[in-house]
Structure 1
């Protein structure tokens, strides 16, 4: 980008740049973000009547487009330029237009000075840098391949196998010899001792199975020829029928003779090596009934429960296909959460709860140690639980070992707290660790790292962001729901990318917080629970009494305890939204949009399923603020008779049916979040058949193909949202098939890309391949893990103990 800057200074744009810099310095904001920069530049072009060439096609316009942030310091301007995804350059421009490249350290010092809470002359600050620990591992080069880590890893491993066949065949042999289940040897026995024997015996086994199939049938059960295979050197795990065993052996034979990435992935994905899985969600209020009322639990509970059910089903299928049913192999999935004694009538005070619809999937609840019963007997917000996680991991380890009667094979963390506990457990138990963040708070709260000290009493970001750094670097692999969750879009940074370089003034500088080009990142979107969420047109699967009951709740029922508002005309198009009441979900923004548009009010009703109705019923400050705001909007725009606000807690069965009832009425679903990491409600609405309007900021950008199977909206532009909805309604009135066209396209989109079957298959495949990678690469992660431990004990733990002291005094 220095060339672009230099070309501006050497051209006619020089004077415009100087004038623009003067306008920026006149701006009251010291810190301008991208939207601020674009708006200021547009105002500049309009004010000085600049030609369209300057505003659209000039080098100056390119510079403005690529500039992510501008910081004013004295008379100088610091330009943070993101010319391509996952990389940035920083330059200081002086009033005389001299250009100075700035280092990461200089940028962080500049940001610190901006908040006036750190003075370089008083001493240096701790610098955190994870870059050296990625030097020994392969790195993706092309940004578009970020999030396709396993594909890159397969190519890398295949090339190593091809280039160094002897070494890698030895590693493969050793890997195959590892696998057991409860002391029973799987895959190969001691009749195969060398690489040569492996290659030869694979061919012998293929010849034997071919002959078997020719004389009998491909569906011959494995147990009928098990002993003959054992004599050749092969134990259970290759398949449940002759045809399946032959298929697996042929893949291995091809892999040995001519390594190819697809063969490697297909073969490793078939190896029976995962039978016991832990899904970690420690902040609690986790159950199957009556637990979706907390502002920070609902979405995660739904996600993890569905994941657990489908993982168990997939593991059972894998065991069957591998031919292990005769060995009494019973997969087990445990959701590790927190036991809460004062559980308010829920089962959150029950240690063990079986998950509905499964054979061996459980919620295991482990209590926080009772440092102060006034705190630990009750639910604690996810922003407050950091003091308890280390001892929680110690206690959870003992209970997991007892439940599994041994170690698990995979630990999956969820959210920041779950990922930290997953790290502590996997470190101790030497188990593969997977991270799933769902949403990283650092991206959701603007300047949350820069002004962390102002927010610390409420959010404790110093511990949360530190926990994120430690867990994401310790993880063997990371699953994100979308590509942009990792590295954003060309004009916005990703959630993980925001951890690359940042400062927490007076605490530490992060010079390199995460390697975005590491193959540990993989995009694996979640799925929809198809037993609850399915198209409205499948009437044979719907329960008529549920449909009538929910239709009454949505449109006509008078219940002042759970419903606010009556509809004057229930025949209008329903605009429907369902989310918790917090600032990010922006339900009040949708209400404001509806209130400002008389045209929308003429043809539509607004129906909201959102949190509590009364301030006194909520113990969350942000939810209380939104409740007050929503009542104010209703009164301000006189929406009485046009809005229904349901403060109800829905079961998953009712949640699925409520989408379908809205679809019966030719309604639409609007998800107006200011930012949405992924958006399960979007998938639920789309698969139900509801035309869906969703925020363009975050995951929905990858789910919805705008105008094809849904619509993207800018939640900050209320007039634009109203116009898009009105345009859709006008098209529906002009073309009686238009609503159905969008509805069908949405349904097809979900079934093609967002099912739990796709998700669990990919997740288990990743776990096996990264397990193989860690074994065969002989990658020494001990130095990285020691560094992470040092940061944990030197930064995280003292702050956690200080918070604990606060809790003990309450």
Structure 2
């Protein structure tokens, strides 16, 4: 039994537990979530005149704090308790305070019963359980180390080296022999025939390079090393070659995890990289703000540029200039024939500022030209992804003149395609979720049948399970993306156990303690997003043009609203117009607060201005709601709504123009997986107010370099902003202090150089791990393929039939 429950039952507080449970049974609501439970307990304490100490520090209050859900079934009360991160327990509480544990399978049945989809007479429902496959591999024990997978894996691998040195030296020896480029052997050649010979030759090579001046180019002693059995890849100078050989020598003689990571990270094994992002409008110009198109495009394009630079730097350091080796990076996305004046109908597009990085667009096969010629919502593209992956494989092989070394999936659809490609090409697969829809839409799995026509969650959640388990490693932007906080469940954690009534039960959907998870936050493009104080780097013409657009320009085609008083402080936000981004919530907050209206102008850059210009149902609803709120609260003269699509450079300058007027940036999303706009606003110098649900909790240090807001508490949002404005009036330097701390925070932690260096190191370590444990992964991959063909594919074909009739 839970220690939390037992602690209550062992004291007089068990009477309070009985009374509180009785109170809940009289409620009309039969499924309560954590916030509702805490609110109900607060009411109980107030109604029964309990002390503040009881409300906050009693054994019962501690139990209530850890209860995530309560389901009322007849006279019993089911409590789902999360005593610590990544762990969940369920108990049935009867009226006489009898406590019975509930198994994961029973809990899933209970949830089905709650929505009237429990049919025991039809036999057992299909169960998905990945746990047995993770029994083969090492797992992390301490929740604090979740997201530090590569560090754990290095320690595990080096301990194996120490325990069975001969086996693992053979692994390293054979792994080194694998590497080649364009027909040229790298690292070691046939003159080294065994692990023992490798160890001896390393010491001879160290003696050889030790006699060279440290800065001697590799070419001057290349052939001497070659005679010993060493090919290009060890370094570009005598000093670099010596360092690499010393690390290997240490690894052979006395292995440790630092030596292992240092050595594997130096091996030139990644030359060609594919990043997969099928949905939305993927391009470099004229796409941001379109449906399904936002931060992920910015993220990927910035990541590509940094990846190419880091790859080139690493290859040069490895001494591969002698072979003329250059990296190649491709973004695989969907070609949209009816491209609406964008370049999304262009098969190949060079990425600005790169030497050999491209956007490769592959069309969906033409099952129904009315659909496949046009943009398709991310919720509808599932039937096309398998054939897209097959066609993309042919295109990628042609462009690379071979196969890539690393495939990085983005979002649910991109990760599924990454799995299909990686499985066929037998290369390392990395997943980046950015955001998992299951966390965005409350009870989306429980009521999936009601939502299926609009969202097709049965396909999306199945794709997520397939891709996240198939991936060699997963990159998250934050720790809480994986396992949440003590108060909230993480995005990946929500896949641990759940039901899709009448479809399947997930008993164990993902191992959260797997070393495949790594927290590697993205950076910000420092050439575009930089502090407003760097006046010398700003273009005067751009600044004047954008200032006019933001505050005074009259252009009904892309601007709604005029400002009566230009001296008010600008309150600024920029996002897509969809429900989760919650810009209408910000407008309502502004409308309800006369104090905010007296001191600020609200300026929004968001989507389109007219419903007839949109084909996205959520965007249409938000446009209608925004106009309604402006009229309802009579915000005319106090709000500017720009439906303009900005270039990236204009976006950076817009933040700076707002900062020139000592404005603030508000990000009111109901949930934000990470929040690139938060990094952008902070680094340009704007004091930033961001949702406390999701990634911003790890970016911002509250009241130090930014502020948390609860997007569901509109009065509280207004109070937090007004308190900030009051402090600015009391202390003329307060705005500048918060501004500078935000800038410092980004430069110290969130740069693309840090990100890509870590990403490439991870890819190499997991490539080595995959090589040494291939036989264990194959069992899981076969299971995953079964789920794809038996669950995913039939439903995708069903959706395709629907598309064919449209």
TM-score, scaled relative to structure 1: 0.99
Could you tell me which residue of structure 2 aligns to residue 767 of structure 1? Answer: 763
Report the secondary structure of 1:37's partner residue.
helix
- The CA distance in 1 between the partners of 2:368 and 2:551, in whole Å, is 46
**1:500 equivalent among 491, 496, 502:** 496
**1:791 equivalent among 787, 793, 799:** 787
- The CA distance in 2 between the partners of 1:2 and 1:748, in whole Å, is 44
Contact 2:280 2:291 (C-alpha < 8 Å) held by counterparts: no
Could you tell me which residue of structure 1 aligns to residue 117 of structure 2? Answer: 117
Q: Which moved more, 1:504-513 or 1:119-128?
A: 119-128
Could you tell me which residue of structure 1 aligns to residue 201 of structure 2? Answer: 201
- The CA distance in 2 between the partners of 1:196 and 1:124, in whole Å, is 56
Could you tell me which residue of structure 1 aligns to residue 465 of structure 2? Answer: 469
Note the C-alpha offset of 1:7.
3.0
Could you tell me which residue of structure 2 aligns to residue 89 of structure 1? Answer: 89
Note the C-alpha offset of 1:778.
4.4
Could you tell me which residue of structure 2 aligns to residue 250 of structure 1? Answer: 246
The reply to whether residue 520 of structure 1 matches residue 512 of structure 2 is no
Could you tell me which residue of structure 2 aligns to residue 758 of structure 1? Answer: 754
- Which aligned pairs between 1:579-728 and structure 2 lie closer than 5 A? 579-728=575-724
Could you tell me which residue of structure 2 aligns to residue 69 of structure 1? Answer: 69
**1:806 equivalent among 794, 797, 802:** 802
**1:279 equivalent among 275, 279, 284:** 275
Could you tell me which residue of structure 1 aligns to residue 171 of structure 2? Answer: 171
Report the secondary structure of 1:191's partner residue.
coil
Note the C-alpha offset of 1:530.
1.1
- The CA distance in 2 between the partners of 1:248 and 1:694, in whole Å, is 45
The reply to whether residue 261 of structure 1 matches residue 257 of structure 2 is yes
Report the secondary structure of 1:781's partner residue.
helix
- The CA distance in 2 between the partners of 1:68 and 1:257, in whole Å, is 51
Give the total of aligned pairs: 806
- The CA distance in 1 between the partners of 2:332 and 2:667, in whole Å, is 30
Over residues 105-163 of structure 1, what are the superposed CA-to-partner deviations in whole Å (9 max), with x where a residue is unaligned?
Answer: 10000000111123222221000000000011000000000000000001111111111
- Which aligned pairs between 1:340-355 and structure 2 lie closer than 5 A? 340-355=336-351
Contact 1:284 1:340 (C-alpha < 8 Å) held by counterparts: no
Could you tell me which residue of structure 1 aligns to residue 32 of structure 2? Answer: 32
Could you tell me which residue of structure 1 aligns to residue 550 of structure 2? Answer: 554
The reply to whether residue 303 of structure 1 matches residue 299 of structure 2 is yes
- The CA distance in 2 between the partners of 1:317 and 1:362, in whole Å, is 19
The reply to whether residue 361 of structure 1 matches residue 352 of structure 2 is no
Q: Which moved more, 1:139-148 or 1:293-302?
A: 293-302
Note the C-alpha offset of 1:294.
2.1
Contact 1:284 1:379 (C-alpha < 8 Å) held by counterparts: yes
The reply to whether residue 412 of structure 1 matches residue 412 of structure 2 is no
**1:543 equivalent among 518, 536, 539:** 539
Contact 1:284 1:339 (C-alpha < 8 Å) held by counterparts: no
Could you tell me which residue of structure 1 aligns to residue 152 of structure 2? Answer: 152
Over residues 248-274 of structure 1, what are the superposed CA-to-partner deviations in whole Å (9 max), with x where a residue is unaligned?
Answer: 111111211221211111111111000
- The CA distance in 1 between the partners of 2:4 and 2:645, in whole Å, is 56
Could you tell me which residue of structure 2 aligns to residue 573 of structure 1? Answer: 569
Note the C-alpha offset of 1:102.
0.4
Q: Which moved more, 1:598-607 or 1:512-521?
A: 598-607
Q: Which moved more, 1:599-608 or 1:425-434?
A: 599-608
Could you tell me which residue of structure 2 aligns to residue 8 of structure 1? Answer: 8
Could you tell me which residue of structure 2 aligns to residue 190 of structure 1? Answer: 190
Over residues 365-389 of structure 1, what are the superposed CA-to-partner deviations in whole Å (9 max), with x where a residue is unaligned?
Answer: 1111111111111110000000011
Over residues 577-603 of structure 1, what are the superposed CA-to-partner deviations in whole Å (9 max), with x where a residue is unaligned?
Answer: 000111111111111111111111111
Note the C-alpha offset of 1:572.
1.1
- Which aligned pairs between 1:445-456 and structure 2 lie closer than 5 A? 445-456=441-452
Could you tell me which residue of structure 1 aligns to residue 42 of structure 2? Answer: 42
**2:377 equivalent among 373, 378, 381:** 381
Over residues 470-501 of structure 1, what are the superposed CA-to-partner deviations in whole Å (9 max), with x where a residue is unaligned?
Answer: 00000000000100000000010000000000
- The CA distance in 1 between the partners of 2:280 and 2:333, in whole Å, is 5
- The CA distance in 2 between the partners of 1:746 and 1:373, in whole Å, is 49
Contact 1:411 1:422 (C-alpha < 8 Å) held by counterparts: yes
- The CA distance in 2 between the partners of 1:5 and 1:687, in whole Å, is 47
Report the secondary structure of 2:635's partner residue.
coil
- The CA distance in 2 between the partners of 1:688 and 1:516, in whole Å, is 36
Contact 1:292 1:649 (C-alpha < 8 Å) held by counterparts: yes
- The CA distance in 2 between the partners of 1:630 and 1:735, in whole Å, is 35
- The CA distance in 1 between the partners of 2:56 and 2:120, in whole Å, is 40
- The CA distance in 1 between the partners of 2:526 and 2:298, in whole Å, is 13
Contact 1:282 1:336 (C-alpha < 8 Å) held by counterparts: yes
TM-score, scaled relative to structure 2: 0.99
Q: Which moved more, 1:318-327 or 1:480-489?
A: 318-327
Note the C-alpha offset of 1:626.
1.0
CA RMSD for the aligned pairs?
A: 1.0
Could you tell me which residue of structure 2 aligns to residue 436 of structure 1? Answer: 432
The reply to whether residue 133 of structure 1 matches residue 127 of structure 2 is no
- The CA distance in 2 between the partners of 1:319 and 1:390, in whole Å, is 34
Contact 2:335 2:346 (C-alpha < 8 Å) held by counterparts: yes
- The CA distance in 2 between the partners of 1:413 and 1:204, in whole Å, is 43
Report the secondary structure of 2:783's partner residue.
helix
- The CA distance in 1 between the partners of 2:463 and 2:283, in whole Å, is 25
- The CA distance in 2 between the partners of 1:409 and 1:47, in whole Å, is 64
Contact 2:289 2:575 (C-alpha < 8 Å) held by counterparts: no
Report the secondary structure of 2:212's partner residue.
helix
Deviation >2 Å, runs of 4+: 1-4, 776-780
- The CA distance in 2 between the partners of 1:114 and 1:673, in whole Å, is 30
- The CA distance in 2 between the partners of 1:801 and 1:739, in whole Å, is 56
Contact 1:109 1:120 (C-alpha < 8 Å) held by counterparts: no
Contact 2:280 2:292 (C-alpha < 8 Å) held by counterparts: no
Note the C-alpha offset of 1:796.
0.6
Q: Which moved more, 1:771-780 or 1:540-549?
A: 771-780
- Which aligned pairs between 1:740-755 and structure 2 lie closer than 5 A? 740-755=736-751
- The CA distance in 1 between the partners of 2:689 and 2:420, in whole Å, is 40
- The CA distance in 1 between the partners of 2:681 and 2:448, in whole Å, is 36
Over residues 538-579 of structure 1, what are the superposed CA-to-partner deviations in whole Å (9 max), with x where a residue is unaligned?
Answer: 111110000000000111111111111111111111111000
Contact 1:172 1:776 (C-alpha < 8 Å) held by counterparts: no
- The CA distance in 1 between the partners of 2:775 and 2:211, in whole Å, is 42
The reply to whether residue 241 of structure 1 matches residue 237 of structure 2 is yes
- The CA distance in 2 between the partners of 1:166 and 1:90, in whole Å, is 47
Over residues 730-775 of structure 1, what are the superposed CA-to-partner deviations in whole Å (9 max), with x where a residue is unaligned?
Answer: 1111212211111111111111111111111111000000001111
- The CA distance in 2 between the partners of 1:589 and 1:718, in whole Å, is 8
- The CA distance in 1 between the partners of 2:774 and 2:666, in whole Å, is 50
Could you tell me which residue of structure 1 aligns to residue 327 of structure 2? Answer: 331
- The CA distance in 1 between the partners of 2:315 and 2:47, in whole Å, is 69
Could you tell me which residue of structure 2 aligns to residue 99 of structure 1? Answer: 99
- The CA distance in 2 between the partners of 1:62 and 1:773, in whole Å, is 42
Where does the alignment leave 5 or more consecutive residues of structure 1 unmatched?
A: none
